[in-house]
Amino acid sequence: MTSGKDVLLERLISSGDDEALLDLKILREEFTGNDLEKAVMRRASGEPLAYILGYRHFFKECYKVCPGVLIPRADTEIAVESVLKFLGINDMATGDLLQIPSYGKLLNDIHFADLCTGTGCIGISAANEIVRAGGRAVGTLIDISDIAIDTADLNVRKQALKPEDLSVIRHDVLSSVPELEKLDFIVSNPPYITNDEMEELDSVVRDHEPDLALRAGDTGLDFYGPLLNVALALLKDGGALIVEHGFAQGDAVREIFEQGGLKKVMTIRDYGGNPRVTFGIK
């Protein structure tokens, strides 16, 4: 007689998801018995694997994730790589990263903000690399979502090498500039999916990941003007604004940065060859 678990396994395998077999392998490694059956049921219903596992690896750390917080993606690691190249601690940089100029400041007192932080993965990963290079990173991780704030705070405590130097605060960057001291860099992976694109997203993303962390109006550009305003107000002279965006938004984001007066504006492609991060210096 076929068990309920076997039916669920067959459903997952035949779901049409290209990653189904790998997901199934991971679930079998993580869960047994009734827990496996429940996990497979959740995945077969379309819930992202990371939410079921409760974590996602990103850069060199393993971050807590949960429903209500955007799941970190490998493409976003290029934002961390861009920060490190700017700070002069990315000796393995290749491709477009080589265009990024060096800040030229010692690492003993770097101050930064990670806006729309979500899990906190970008800011924590960058801070940890600064610490590993012998420096000190004083950072503020900012989001408007209470779930994101709680998750980022947990990740700071669990994953940051120097958690005492990182703080997490709630603030709406669309409304005003947060009250912070002058910063050496600002990094952000803001919402950038257009209203039309939201309807076309894979249901695994659209139906499970938070709309608040994805949707950014008709053009997908709602956040870049406000992020520029924060940068102009808070960056030190020579400091950098580094933002992620959609693969078709590089030209528009560069124009926003250049019209706002940033210098050495450039777009960096991710390791899949897609324009992913735009960089500018105050």
Condensed to tens digits (0 to 9), the pLDDT of residues 151-191 reads 999 999 999 999 999 999 999 999 999 999 999 999 999 99
**Which pair of structure tokens corresponds to residue 19?**
């990653």
Considering only 2-6, 13-17, 106-110, 273-277, which range has the smallest mean pLDDT? 2-6
- Check residue 1 and give its pLDDT: 38
197 C-beta neighbours (distance < 10 Å), count: 16
What radius of gyration do the chain's Cα atoms show?
Answer: 20
For the chain, where do the domains classified as CATH 3.40.50.150 start and end?
69-281
Predicted local confidence at residue 16, as pLDDT: 53
Q: State the chain's mean pLDDT as an integer.
A: 92
Vertex 178 angle, CA 280 and 216, to 5°: 65
Q: Find out if CATH 3.40.50.150 is the number for domain 69-281.
A: yes
Predicted pLDDT at 22: 82
pLDDT of 10 reads: 61
pTM (2 d.p.): 0.92
